[in-house]
Amino acid sequence: MDLHQFFTTARVLVVAGKGGVGKTTVSAVLARAAADSGLRVLVVELEEKTGIAGLLGGSGVLPYDEVLLAGGLGAGSSGEIRGRTITPSNALAEYLTTHGLKRLSKRLVSTGVIDVVSTAAPGIDDILVLGKLKQLEREVGTDGRLDLVVVDGPAAGHAITFLQSASGLLDAVRSGPINTQARDVLEMLGDPERCQVLLVTLPEATPVNELVETAYALEDRVGVQLGPVVVNAVDHGGALPDPDGVAALPAGDTGAALAAAARFRTERRAMHRAEVHRLGELLPLPQLHLPLVPTAGLDASDVVLLADALARCIKALPA
């Protein structure tokens, strides 16, 4: 599949997965790959945390107002990556302000009531965020400023309730703007051209199990379209020689270390292969693989390399 085609299939991509599998990394890599193919991408964080800005050439926590992080590289020089954070309280404060209720907004913030209002009914906090995302989605493609929104989404369990919040809310809140928001959000989530969810996992047993559970729960309970599954940190690589068969193996501790290291690596690669295969058996979705980067913390240059690897995977997908 052509890169441009892949990144314009849906206007909003929500990246979700168990804590620790690499959602933030994958969100950054998607944004980088899309920008390098010439698109203008907005990356959205749902929590005030550091991480993604640093992976894309910036630093610190993304603010509520958009900031420019990077331009597209190489042939994608018309592309760019912007970033922002959206939280329920900020989304509510903005909503109130744009509806002429700025003083109320300030009052709610100063008394701390805004947090209470955001959690007053199941999913209000999530709907406020989804409503803002829906507003951003409307901007995609229209004025030529924005081509794609990538959301560094919630951890697996919360992803389900997050995306389900709209339908739950329609029961609890029968009228008013929140109700209207909920309806509009449901429409967006149900339309594969407007929104898709990309689930992320590591090639290990527990994350794969949780991904499969989450995938089925999302399909059953939310009805949202799942894009390809992203398997992060896959140790690809050719077979290592069997140390027992290497006649030139040194004696003593050195040989023992070489042999143990080879066996360890071979076992890890075999496990990754087995888990990737098992994932394919349990969930018939296309897979995109990001290679394992031997490091204790990724930086922006690693993300560029990973984006190239992702681009190759995407091109190998059927059109």
Among 4, 106, 268, 278, binds another protein (CB under 8 A): 268
Tokens of 36: 């390098």
What's the CA gap between 77 and 36, in Å, rounded?
7
Q: Taking CB under 8 A as the rule, which mask of x and - marks residues 54-93 in contact with another protein? A: ----------------------------------------
Q: Is 108 in the site for another protein (CB under 8 A)?
A: yes
Closest by CA position to 37, among listed 4, 68, 69, 82: 4
SS3 294: coil
Q: Which one of 61, 262, 300, 305 is in contact with another protein (CB under 8 A)?
A: 262
- The closest alpha carbon to 30, from 14, 51, 50, 48, belongs to 14
Query: Do 228 and 198 form a contact (C-beta atoms < 8 A)?
Result: yes
Nearer to another protein, 7 or 95 (CB): 95
Instruction: Please name the amino acid found at residue 145.
Output: R
Q: Which pair of tokens denotes residue 199?
A: 């689930």
**Token representation of residue 63:** 């603010």
Residue 122 sits in the site that holds another protein (CB under 8 A): yes
Q: Is 206 in the site for another protein (CB under 8 A)?
A: yes
Interacting span for another protein (CB under 8 A) from 140-148, 185-193, 262-270, 307-315: 262-270
- For position 18 contacting another protein by CB under 8 A, the verdict is yes
Contact letters for another protein, residues 19-38 (x by CB under 8 A): xxx-----------------
Q: Which is nearer to another protein, 57 or 76 (CB)?
A: 57
Q: Give least dist CB 2 to another protein, A.
A: 34
d(Cα 30, Cα 20) in Å, to the nearest integer? Answer: 18
Token digits of residue 46: 């749902």
Binder among 4, 8, 9, 49 for another protein (CB under 8 A): 49
Q: Using the rule CB under 8 A, which residue among 67, 68, 75, 205 binds another protein?
A: 205
Q: Residue 112 or 144: which CB sits closer to another protein? A: 112
The answer to whether 69 and 83 are in contact (CB under 8 A) is: yes
CB of 26 to another protein, least distance (A): 14
The whole-angstrom separation of Cα 305 and Cα 71 is 16
* 104: contact with another protein by CB under 8 A: yes
CA distance 6 to 147: 12
Task: Using the CB atoms, write b or e for 229-249: b if 16+ within 10 Å.
Answer: bbbbbbeeeeeeeebeeeeee
How near is the Cβ of 200 to another protein at its closest, in Å? 12
Q: What are the Cα distances from residue 292, in Å, to 19, 71, 152, 222, 306? A: 18, 25, 20, 32, 9
The residues of the shown chain that bind another protein, judged by CB under 8 A, are: 18-21, 47, 49-51, 95-96, 101, 104, 107-108, 111-113, 115-117, 119-125, 155, 157, 172-179, 204-206, 209-210, 240-241, 243, 245-246, 248-249, 253-254, 256-262, 264-265, 267-268, 271, 294-297
